[in-house]
Amino acid sequence: MYSAAMEISIKQALSFGWETFKKRPWFFVGASLLVFIVSFLAGVATGLFDLALTGDPENPSGAGSIIDWLISTLINMGIIAFYLRANDNVEQVTLNELWHPHPYWKFFAATLLVGIVVVLGLLLLIVPGIIFLMMFLFTTFLVIDRNLGPIEAMKESRRITHGHRWKLLGFGLVLLLINLLGAIALGIGLLVTIPVTMLAFTYVYRLLAAQAGVAPVPMDAALKPAS
């Protein structure tokens, strides 16, 4: 699927996302709906927790914010595992992939470190933050896909994105625009645009990893925790 000579093509990535989505459209819509529901219920739960502590669900407590972050980490891990599997074999992916709690603390630390680096970069006249964001764009994917530690995943993301960061920025802006259009369509459009853009994003990750010389993981071994 991925040739070492291939360059990032926004059109090709989106075409892959759309064609893959069309193979199981209702499955992807259902998966997106399930993620929305779980995220909503998690927000309600943390809101009730904040209400019990502060008397105002709109006034988040420190503990409530931490719980929300911990739950969001689990949700994000499942989303990445799900789309990696869908990219590799759309016919075999199941909703079970949305539950992928390993390696939780590596993922949590990677998210925290990348967030800190990007925020510090944004404080330095914006541009460094954008560069850091593109540099470490695939850090969390590498944690899930390769079971890498946070620092190792950041280094690997920097390596595979080298020479492609401005193209990745343009790609990211296109994906953002597509999802904004999905949100304008009463929000219902997001049930289609999110799967398509996530499949396109995962395609680009796999493409750049292949170009950087990362050997493909056998399907049966992919996404399994290291022993």
* Secondary structure of the chain in HEC code, one letter for each residue: CCCCCCCCCHHHHHHHHHHHHHHCHHHHHHHHHHHHHHHHHHHHHHHHHHHHHHCCCCCCCHHHHHHHHHHHHHHHHHHHHHHHHHHHCCCCCCHHHHCCCCCHHHHHHHHHHHHHHHHHHHHCCCHHHHHHHHHCCCHHHHHHHHCCCHHHHHHHHHHHHCCCHHHHHHHHHHHHHHHHHHHHCCCCCHHHHHHHHHHHHHHHHHHHHHHCCCCCCCCCCCCCCCC
Number of domains in the chain: 1
Shortest CA distance to 175 belongs to which of 205, 154, 145, 195? Answer: 195
More confident: 148 or 51:
148
Question: Does residue 82 lie in a domain region?
Answer: yes
The overall average pLDDT reported for the chain is 88
Q: Is residue 227 situated within a structural domain?
A: no
16 band by pLDDT with thresholds 50, 70 and 90:
very high
Write down the pLDDT at residue 49.
76
pLDDT band at 52 (very low <50, low <70, confident <90, very high): confident
User: What pLDDT digit, counting tens, does each position of 181-225 carry?
Assistant: 999 977 789 999 999 999 999 999 999 998 887 655 544 444 554
Q: How far apart are CA 206 and CA 20, in angstroms?
A: 15
Q: Is residue 138 part of a domain?
A: yes
CA distance between the termini of the chain: 29
Contacts of 174 (CB under 8 A, 6+ apart): 10, 14
| Full residue range of the structural domain in which residue 108 is found | 10-211
Domain membership flag for residue 5: no
**Is residue 199 within 8 Å of 87, Cβ to Cβ?**
yes
Give a yes or no: residue 160 inside a domain.
yes
Could you tell me what percent of the chain has a pLDDT over 90?
Answer: 70
Mean pLDDT over residues 10-38, rounded?
96
* Domain membership flag for residue 80: yes
Structure confidence by residue, pLDDT tens digits, 131-153: 999 999 999 999 999 999 999 99
In a domain, 42, yes or no: yes
Task: Find all residues with CB under 8 Å of 63, minimum gap 6, and list them.
Answer: 49, 53
67-109: pLDDT as tens digits: 889 999 999 999 999 999 999 999 999 999 999 999 999 999 9
- Of the candidate ranges 13-22, 49-58, 144-153, 191-200, the one whose mean pLDDT is the lowest: 49-58
| C-alpha span between 139 and 153 (Å, rounded) | 5
Answer whether residue 1 is part of any domain: no
